[in-house]
Amino acid sequence: MRSRPMLWVTTALVALVTATACGATAEKSDTSNADSGKPATGLRLMVPNTAGGGYDTTARTAAKVMEDAKIATGVQVFNLPGAGGTVGLQRIVNEKGNGKLAMQMGLGVVGATYTSKSKATLTQTTPIAKMIEEAGAIVVPKNSPYKTIQDLVTAWKANPKGLAVGGGSSPGGPDHLLPMQLAQAVGINPKDVNFVSYDGGGELLPALLGSKIAFGASGFGEFLDQVESGQVRVLAVTSEKPIDALKDVPTLKGSGIDLVFTNWRGIVAPPEIGDADKKVWIDALTKMHDSPQWKAELQKHGWTDAFVTGDEFGTFLTEQDKAVAEILTKLGLAA
């Protein structure tokens, strides 16, 4: 199922308002396999935050599917964390013309370009594909005293500054916007929220397991292994309907909290890449999207298919950039 042609962030976020890495010189790309029908070769996919987070999981899953389905061979995934993803973004922008490199990204990078005052912007990149949407989750460690979302909200309202909430994104990213919106929905002033920022789920999870924060807010897919092993408990998900992967977990709406929140992830390439290189990326990702292996991964991770490519993704990205900038400006997080 393809994504609905709508800009979720405008409606979802409006309720809330009442380090640079130097890139190497781009090498001339080998586009000999662009139309040959042979597997793509030499592709590199950068993850702009730490291993173990949502971007990392999505990128490595996509690379594995492309390898297993013989769509591409030797896909290299590597991490370049920092500043909410804008260190990686600067690298992508610096790699002008390098058609072999792309970056996994999403809403968090959009917000970070403003809150980190990044010189590099997503509008400078080449849009390749929007891949998935994912609901958020409110998660606590196994020894937490909060057994339900109502338990947590009651304690949070009584002492909003005393209960730290962690997220795997910088201010302006989805893991920051989610608890701020949740606070607004339950009657807490977002300015009173004690938010602790971590650079990706790879850093958020140890903080949650070590009880350094009272609860976490992030994409639910990042916690599935820990849920299965009993290390953490998901109190609620932020989707419209319950999620198959967490079928016993209620939604916020089902728990009497009027909030639905959805994150998204996609891939961009450096500026000014050739048409043939762009086609290699889009063709490879389209074949991946259509493969049974990818459909199985969507089911496994509970991701919602949101696949669009090229200019259609570019239009979406421009709209997201504008909407996030407007919201963060009103919140005092962007100039």
Q: What is the CATH number of domain 40-131+265-331?
A: 3.40.190.150
Give the length of the chain: 335
**Rounded Cα gap, residues 28 and 329, in angstroms:** 40
Are the folds of 40-131+265-331 and 134-255 the same? yes
The predicted structure's pLDDT at residue 114: 92
The predicted structure's pLDDT at residue 248: 93
The predicted structure's pLDDT at residue 36: 61
Domain boundaries, the chain: 40-131+265-331, 134-255
The predicted structure's pLDDT at residue 35: 56
Q: If you search the block for the tokens 């919106």, which residue do you land on?
A: 181
Q: What is the CATH number of domain 134-255?
A: 3.40.190.10
Confidence at 317, pLDDT banded by 50, 70, 90: very high
What is the pTM for the complete model shown? 0.77
Query: To the nearest whole number, what is the mean pLDDT of the chain?
Result: 88
Sign of the Cα torsion 284, 287, 290, 294 reads negative
The predicted structure's pLDDT at residue 33: 52
The predicted structure's pLDDT at residue 327: 74
Model confidence at 9: pLDDT above 50: no
The predicted structure's pLDDT at residue 3: 38
Measured CA angle at 248 (ends 243, 254), to 5 deg: 70
The predicted structure's pLDDT at residue 222: 83
Contact 188, 157 (CB under 8 A): yes
67-103: pLDDT as tens digits: 999 999 999 999 999 988 999 999 999 999 999 999 9
**Rounded Cα gap, residues 57 and 302, in angstroms:** 13
